[in-house]
Amino acid sequence: MPTQFLILVVDDDAVTRLMICRFLERNGYATKAAEHGREAVEMFQKQSPDLVLMDAKMPLMDGFLACEEIKRLPRSKHTPVMMITGLEDDDSVDRAFAAGATDFITKPIHWAILRNRVKYLLRAVEAERKLHLSDRVFQSTSEGIVVTDAKAVIQSVNPAFSQITGYHSDEAVGRHTRMLKSGNHDLSFYEKMWDALIQSGKWQGEIWNRRKSGELYPQWASFSAIRGPSDEITNYVAVFSDLTAAKESEKTLVHITGHDGLTDLPNRLAFFERTQKFLADARRRQERVGVLMLDLDRFKVVNETMGHNLGDGLLVEVAKRLISVIPDRGLLARMGGDEFGLLCPCVQEPEDMALLAQKVLNILEAPFDIQDMELFIGASIGIGLFPMDGMDVNTLVRNADTAMYHAKEQGRNNFQFYRDKLNTSSMARMILEGSLRSALDRNEFELFYQPQVDIQSGALVGAEALIRWNHPERGMVSPGEFIPMAEETGLILPMGRWALRSACQRAVAWSNEGLPPIRVAVNLSGLQFRQPDFIEIVEREVQRSGLDPQYLELELTESIAMGDVEETFDKLKTLSEMGCQIAIDDFGTGFSSLSYLKRFPIDTLKIDRSFVRNCTEDSEDAAIVKTFIGLAHSLKLRVIAEGVETEPQRLFMVQNSCDEIQGYLYGRPMPAGEFQKMLTEQLHNGGGVHLTP
Ligand code: C2E
Ligand code: CA
Ligand code: CA
């Protein structure tokens, strides 16, 4: 229903007033009546009529004056005033227009003329108001509006346009719209846009433009083509809104939906999305990518018995530690519950992933301090490799998960590859290496002692200290497995020092028990011996233990001794002067220069087991062993035969005047306690060592 116009009728003559009102009402208008000018002005302010019909001649305030006053009111601008004059004289007409009247009509009133005049005046009012409204919209909307001509030359812009683009209307009007081009879109984008505009008269979409400042910004734009009477395009109108803010909030939305609120890590969704993108890249670059799925062991128990607050706290702390091991360009996410996912780009070898997994296990090993409690928690890790274990993120994560469950079955706190092959051989090595690093701190090393027996008297005269690794899962690990690894990683240094210290302390402990003093032999690695402060280390350990240095024998192989001969000579001399004994280990397997050996202050030659093994069957080996013994004796060295396992071998050594024997025949390397028992028995029996079968 159209709005009903209100007409204010002003006449001092009551009959005329009434008749005009009746007539207008019959024509569908609402009316108000005023008796004189003064009342008219008051009424105008109260009622805001759409049109005023004003008699010119009235008492108190005439029509001209009242018209003038009304026109001074702020809201009267778009309200026409029609004067009703008695006379059609020029003077009255001039006065009416001068007072601001829009039109006039003469008395006596011609009703048909009145009807038409009112009708047209009000139509104009309506049109003007609409225009005013659209102008208001144009001026005040937050959307930028650009009107161009058919050649896209800007005709007018609104304030929002200026606010968004930074161009004042003076700077924009008269210029082509290409001034706003961002350069972000190619030619075909604009071609398509113009095609659509010309074909259908409309185009809508996201488009990047450039602000006056040079900054690019995204906008949502709606373009319309305006056609003239003969259907030719006369104008284009663009309405657009700045999407910068929307994009920002979109980003935070993604942040919220892609994020885990507890740990502030990306969540499963984000992990999948980003990994998928990552794999596409890796495929192009032909790179290997690793995915590591980690599930905390015993987390459920913690969570259920100690409460969810504590569980949450633990997850946050776990996340913090995991963040510290994220590889370059890698990605850590909380997949849900107590499961985390780690994406590792650029994996050269599967071993890289094994190392990373071990690193993760190591950093989770230290206890967590949460709410004044110390919690220990392990993790089970599954590893999947792109592209072998899956070409897409779903397969890859699923397979890594499978591997993770496998790790759980394996007794937790370990990692497994999805590919079984990778779990053995080289991986076993990696696992070992990882745990070797912490073995010393965790006190997992132990020295075993193997008897060295005087061949003439059968007395126990010495012990070779041989290191053992008490691995928490694998049990005893033989030195052949971990010593080379320890040498590669440098761990041999702290390890060797530990062995030296323990052996010295043990020898002192035995003599403190009242047992006869016994020589302990400690093996040295090349790396250890080459350490610049090696001598000081030995000195310190000997002093600290209080061992008489003559009971300490240092074993080094020919190849170590032959490294840097001058250095060896100096070091051995110093050690010898300190009172330590020096043994050449595995003699016969290296290519020692005898003349140098002669120069070195050596006490003992240990004939390698490989010659001893065959000396009773192989005449060549027999000859070699005999030569070694002869040579040693000529240099005034004591000779120890290593690896004597049988009675014939022992007899061979007796017959050839070997000095001492070390081998399974007299005893395997044994824990210190067992060795002490042997020593004690010897003390009580006053001699001979019991043979072990
Ligand atoms: P090695 O110095 O030649 O030590 C003697 C090895 O021969 C020991 O092996 C010992 O158990 C073994 N053996 C002794 N008697 C017999 C026998 O009658 N028959 C046979 N078949 N074997 C016998 P183990 O304990 O496995 O040690 C292997 C090597 O590891 C040692 O060879 C030594 O080079 C190295 N090693 C052991 N402990 C240490 C250490 O504390 N520091 C360093 N640097 N190396 C060590
Ligand atoms: Ca040895
Ligand atoms: Ca040896």
Instruction: Return the best residue to mutate from 444, 450, 523 for the ligand 1 pocket (most ligand atoms within 8 A of CB).
Output: 523
Banded model confidence at residue 251, pLDDT cuts 50, 70, 90: low
Q: Report residue 37: phi and psi, to 5°.
A: -55, -50
- For residue 110, what is the domain's CATH number? 3.40.50.2300
Neighbours of ion ligand 2 (CB under 5 A): 523, 555, 585
| 92 plus 187 within the same structural domain | no
Question: What's the rounded Cα separation, in Å, for the pair 168 and 159?
Answer: 8
Query: Which ligand is in closest contact with the Cα of 487?
Result: 1
Taking phi first (over 0 means left), then psi (-120 to 50 degrees means alpha), and beta for anything else, what does residue 297 get? beta
Report residues whose beta carbon is within 6 angstroms of any ligand 1 atom.
450, 466-467, 478-480, 483, 496, 499, 523-525, 585-586, 609, 643-645, 663-664, 669
User: Domain for residue 429, yes or no?
Assistant: no
The two tokens of residue 119 are: 């009708």
Q: Which secondary structure element, helix H or strand E, spans residue 375, and what is its range?
A: strand 373-375
572 Cα: distance to centroid of ligand 1 (angstroms): 22
**Look-up of token digits 């001969």:** 565
Torsion of Cα atoms, 57 then 60 then 65 then 70, to 10°: -110
608 Cα: distance to centroid of ligand 3 (angstroms): 6
* Of 495 and 128, the one with more pLDDT: 495
Mean pLDDT over 71-99 rounds to: 82
**Look-up of token digits 């080094």:** 556
612 Cα: distance to centroid of ligand 3 (angstroms): 11
Residues 6+ apart with CB under 8 A from 215: none
CA-closest residue to ligand 1 atom 16: 643
Q: Which secondary structure element, helix H or strand E, spans residue 386, and what is its range?
A: strand 379-386
Using an 8 Å Cβ cutoff, are 419 and 390 in contact?
Answer: no
CA-angle at 223, arms to 221 and 224, nearest 5°: 155
Instruction: Return the best residue to mutate from 466, 498, 537 for the ligand 1 pocket (most ligand atoms within 8 A of CB).
Output: 466
Question: What's the rounded Cα separation, in Å, for the pair 412 and 449?
Answer: 34
427 Cα: distance to centroid of ligand 2 (angstroms): 29
- For residue 216, what is the domain's CATH number? 3.30.450.20
Least confident of 255-259, 282-286, 478-482: 255-259
| 398 plus 470 within the same structural domain | no
Question: What's the rounded Cα separation, in Å, for the pair 691 and 668?
Answer: 11
466 Cα: distance to centroid of ligand 2 (angstroms): 8
Domain boundary among 103, 137, 171: 137
* Of 190 and 455, the one with more pLDDT: 455
Indicate the burial class of 193 (C-beta count within 10 angstroms; 0-12, 13-18, 19 or more).
middle
End-to-end CA distance of the chain: 119
| 147 plus 23 within the same structural domain | no
Banded model confidence at residue 693, pLDDT cuts 50, 70, 90: very low
- For residue 481, what is the domain's CATH number? 3.20.20.450
* Of 427 and 96, the one with more pLDDT: 96
CA-closest residue to ligand 1 atom 8: 466
Q: Does the structure show a pLDDT above 50 at 615?
A: yes
Amino acid at 338: D
466 Cα: distance to centroid of ligand 1 (angstroms): 6
| 200 plus 273 within the same structural domain | no
- Give the atom of ligand 1 at the shortest distance from the alpha carbon of 467: 38
679 Cα: distance to centroid of ligand 3 (angstroms): 23
Q: Average pLDDT of the chain?
A: 87
- Give the atom of ligand 1 at the shortest distance from the alpha carbon of 499: 41
| 410 plus 281 within the same structural domain | yes
pLDDT computed for residue 183 by the predictor:
81
Return the number of other C-beta atoms located less than 10 Å from residue 21's C-beta. 19
pLDDT computed for residue 594 by the predictor:
60
3-state SS of 578-635 is HCCEEEEEEECCCCCCHHHHHHCCCCEEEECHHHHHHCCCCHHHHHHHHHHHHHHHHC
Give the closest residue to 297 by CA, choosing from 272, 314, 309, 320.
Answer: 314
Domain boundary among 213, 247, 281: 247
Question: What's the rounded Cα separation, in Å, for the pair 438 and 429?
Answer: 15
| 187 plus 94 within the same structural domain | no
User: Domain for residue 260, yes or no?
Assistant: no
Containing structural domain, residue 662? 449-684
| 23 plus 172 within the same structural domain | no
| 651 plus 522 within the same structural domain | yes
Domain boundary among 93, 112, 137: 137
Question: What's the rounded Cα separation, in Å, for the pair 352 and 407?
Answer: 18
User: Domain for residue 432, yes or no?
Assistant: no
3-state SS of 325-350 is CCCCCCEEEEEECCEEEEEECCCCCH
Residue-wise pLDDT tens digits, 523-557: 999 999 999 999 999 999 999 999 999 999 999 99
| 388 plus 482 within the same structural domain | no
User: Domain for residue 301, yes or no?
Assistant: yes
User: Domain for residue 255, yes or no?
Assistant: no
Taking phi first (over 0 means left), then psi (-120 to 50 degrees means alpha), and beta for anything else, what does residue 96 get? alpha
**Look-up of token digits 């050596």:** 602
pLDDT computed for residue 222 by the predictor:
82
Residue-wise pLDDT tens digits, 559-588: 888 878 889 999 999 999 999 999 999 888
Mean pLDDT over 101-127 rounds to: 85
CA-closest residue to ligand 1 atom 23: 643
Mean pLDDT over 132-156 rounds to: 83
pTM comes to: 0.48
pLDDT computed for residue 688 by the predictor:
52
| 483 plus 524 within the same structural domain | yes
The two tokens of residue 403 are: 């591997």
Give the rounded percent of residues in the chain with a pLDDT score beyond 70.
94
Question: What's the rounded Cα separation, in Å, for the pair 53 and 20?
Answer: 9
Residue-wise pLDDT tens digits, 651-692: 999 999 999 999 999 999 999 999 999 999 988 886 555 444
pLDDT computed for residue 295 by the predictor:
94
pLDDT computed for residue 1 by the predictor:
43
User: Domain for residue 547, yes or no?
Assistant: yes
Number of domains comprising the chain: 4
158 Cα: distance to centroid of ligand 2 (angstroms): 93
Question: What's the rounded Cα separation, in Å, for the pair 42 and 147?
Answer: 42
Query: Which ligand is in closest contact with the Cα of 555?
Result: 2
| 72 plus 126 within the same structural domain | yes
Using an 8 Å Cβ cutoff, are 566 and 598 in contact?
Answer: no
Query: Which ligand is in closest contact with the Cα of 480?
Result: 1
User: Domain for residue 538, yes or no?
Assistant: yes
pLDDT computed for residue 88 by the predictor:
65
Amino acid at 279: L
Question: What's the rounded Cα separation, in Å, for the pair 179 and 495?
Answer: 74
User: Domain for residue 520, yes or no?
Assistant: yes
| 129 plus 216 within the same structural domain | no
